[in-house]
Every structure is written in C-alpha cells, then in structure tokens.
Amino acid sequence: MHVLLAVKRLLQIPAVNPLHRCKRPWLIDVGAEPRSCQQPPGKRGGNRGDTRCDKLGKVGASGAKGLTSALKRSRTTATFVHKNIMPELSPNKPYRIGRSKTGLGLFATKPIKKGTRIIRYFGPLLDSKKKKDDEIENKYLFELTNRWTIDGSVRKNVARYINHACKPNAESDVRPRKRRVYIRAIKNIEPGEEINYDYGTDYFKAYLKPIGCKCEACEKKRKKKRAEAKAERQREREKAERKAIRLAEKLARAKEKLKKLNGHSKAGSKRLNGHANGKLANGHDRAAT
C-alpha cells in the first residue's frame, strides 16, 4: 500500500532534469538540490514531502558523477605515458649509455686497456641476394662482405650508440667468416671517456660530411680555424686602422702645406699691390710736375 502511494506521488511530480540549462554538467554541486525542488528558507528537511526532492537530487548527483568519471577517463587515455626504451646494461659491463655532443654515446665506466674487446656489434643478418633484405636502408648497416650485412638498428645492439671519431680510441674488428663484428680498444680508455671508432670513408661522405663531423678532432680543427679567421680579421682591421691613420696624417700635412702656400701667395700679392700703387703714385707726381 505504501509503495503504491509513493508511486502515485512520484507520478504527480512534473519531470525535472537536474542538469537543465547547465553547460558544464560535471561542475554541478553534488550535494545541491535541483532548482525546481529548492525549498524556501527555514523549511529544509524534516518533512516527508521533501523526500521526493532528495531523490531527484540523488539522481542528478549520480548523473554528474558519471559525467565526471567519463571526463577523467578520456583525459587518462589521452595522457602520454613515457616508457624507458633504453636497453638494460649489466653493472659488470665497463661502459654505459650517456649524453654526448652528438646525442647519445657509449662511455667507459671502468679503465679499458688497449687491445681489449669492448663490445660486439650485432643484429639480423641481411642477404643482398634477397630483394627484401637488399631494400632495407638505415644508418646502422654494417657490411661484412658483398653479400652479408649486419642490421644494427635493433635496440639490444648497444654498440649502435658508439659515435664516429676521426681520431678514435677504438676500432671495428670484422670477422667475415664468423659473420661477427667486435669493437676493440686501440688506446687505453679512462673512466668517463667516450668510446668511439672511425665509421669509414663511405659513411663519412654519405652521412657526416653534409652536416659536418662533430667529433672532438673535427671540433678542435673548426675551433682552430675559427680562431685563425678571427685573428686574421683582427689583423686586417688593425691594418685598415693604421692605413686610415697614415692617410689622415698625410691629409693633415697637405692641409698645412696648402695653408702655408696660401699665406705666401697672399703676402706676395700684397707686396705686388704695394709696388704697383707706388709706381702709379710716382707717375702721377711726375705728370703733375
């Protein structure tokens, strides 16, 4: 009986949308009552007739919660999650991946003696006789023979992080029969020093020469050239200044000489004018006599 009465009462209430006229439904106060069900001051709660409004308020609150959670889910899915793609290295290895002038590089963490085999350059073997393999192009291809090439672009190939140097401290030890390549030290390498080797003429011309080699030796050469060019510009500037000073001095002497000549000419003209006036005066006197 009570259930029927409650249903009748609900049916008599006009349908009210608690989110009506709200441009941002997720900002609705969950605890607030709908506007159409707000009670005048002094009559909040305590009456049975208020339960209907409370129910509507709860419906609105649940709707707002759903919208809020949906918004949060969309933001969560749009968030970029950064994953560490660097290969894990054993602490027993005498090297680590670190930041260098050209990007990432391989640095010694322990002293490495000359002649020590540091690391193996590995990856899938590509057969040039297969069209699929022959079409692969990237900057990590290491040619073993005319037929076989190592594709070192895989992330597990830590040797791919070793940078080029024109004056390196390591070299590539190629074993064509075993189809393997090792990087071997040709100098004593101290901890913290970057490991590098010469990539070869073909790679240098294809990839490094167009953008300029950034190895330490080339940087020193460029720095030396820049210093020499700067010194040459300074010498040229000083030479031009000296030349300008000499020219100014020459012009000053010429002006002084011109002034002296003008002074002599004025004095001479005055004397000539005096003689001429005297002659004229004498002539007039004689004519008068």
Domain boundaries, given as residue ranges, for the chain: 2-65, 95-213, 215-267
263: tokens are: 């002074």
Per-residue pLDDT of the chain (289 residues; tens, 9 = 90+): 555 556 556 555 554 444 444 444 434 343 444 444 444 444 444 444 444 444 334 343 333 333 333 333 333 333 444 444 667 788 889 999 999 988 899 999 999 999 999 999 999 999 999 999 989 988 899 999 999 999 999 989 999 999 999 999 999 999 999 999 999 999 999 999 999 999 888 888 888 888 888 888 888 888 899 999 999 999 999 999 999 999 999 999 888 888 888 876 766 666 666 655 555 555 555 455 4
Whole-number Cα distances in Å, 266 to 253, 260, 278: 20, 10, 18
- Residue 266: the pLDDT is 66
Residues with Cβ < 8 Å from 184, sequence gap 6 or more?
Answer: 115, 116, 117, 118, 170, 171, 172, 173
The span from the CA of 125 to the CA of 149, in Å, is 6
**Contact at 8 Å (CB) between 225 and 232?**
no
CATH class of 95-213: mainly beta
Characterize the bridge pairing of strands 141-143 and 125-127: unpaired
Main-chain phi, psi angles of 273, to 5 degrees: -65, -35
